Amino acid sequence: MAIEHDYFGVLSSGPDGAIFWTERVEFGDQSVTVDLTAPDQDDVSAAALDAAAALIGSIEGLDDVVRRAMLTEVDDRTSEVTEYVLQQQEAYGDELEDILVDISGDAAVDIIRSLRLSSMTILADEHGGSEPFAVLEYALDADATDDVLLVNLGSDGAVMSVMSAD
Structural contact between residues 20 and 34, judged by C-beta atoms closer than 8 angstroms: no
Assign 8 to helix, strand or coil: coil
Q: How many residues does the chain have?
A: 166
pLDDT at 88: 92
The C-alpha angle with vertex 46 and arms to 44 and 49, in degrees rounded to 5, equals: 75
For the chain, give the longest Cα–Cα distance.
Answer: 55
Reported in sequence order, the residue ranges of 53-100 that DSSP labels E, i.e. its strands, are: none
The C-alpha angle with vertex 72 and arms to 132 and 165, in degrees rounded to 5, equals: 45
Per-residue pLDDT of the chain (166 residues; tens, 9 = 90+): 678 899 998 888 888 889 999 999 998 888 999 999 999 988 999 999 999 999 999 999 999 999 999 999 998 888 999 999 999 999 988 888 888 988 888 889 999 999 999 999 999 999 988 999 999 999 998 777 678 999 999 999 999 999 987 6
Identify the helix (H) or strand (E) that includes residue 45.
Answer: none
Assign 92 to helix, strand or coil: helix
Structural contact between residues 124 and 140, judged by C-beta atoms closer than 8 angstroms: no
